[in-house]
Amino acid sequence: MKGTASPRHCSRACCYPHLFAARRALAQRSEWAVSQFGAAESGDRRGTKRLVTPATQMAGYGSGSIAQQARCAAEMNAAYRLFGAEGVTHAAICGPHFAQTRRLASQRSLVFLVRDTRELNFTSHAHCGRLGPFGRGDMRGRSFSSVRAVTVSEGFLPSEPGCPQPGPPAG
The structural domains of the chain, ordered by start, are: 12-106 (1.10.246.40), 108-155 (no CATH)
Bigger pLDDT: 15 vs 110: 110
What's the order of all strands across the beta sheet hosting 139-151?
Answer: 111-121, 139-151, 132-134
Q: pLDDT-derived band of residue 73, with 50, 70 and 90 as boundaries?
A: very high
Beta bridge partners of 34: none
**Which has the minimum average pLDDT: 55-59, 132-136, 157-161?**
157-161
Each residue's pLDDT tens digit, 100-123: 888 888 888 888 888 888 788 888
Please tell me the predicted confidence (pLDDT) of residue 112. Answer: 85
Residue 12 gets the label, from left (phi > 0), alpha (psi -120 to 50) or beta, of: beta
Each residue's pLDDT tens digit, 78-105: 888 888 888 788 888 888 888 888 888 8
Q: pLDDT-derived band of residue 77, with 50, 70 and 90 as boundaries?
A: very high
Q: What is the C-alpha radius of gyration for the chain, rounded to an integer number of angstroms?
A: 22
Residue 165 has pLDDT above 70, yes or no: no
Please tell me the predicted confidence (pLDDT) of residue 154. Answer: 52
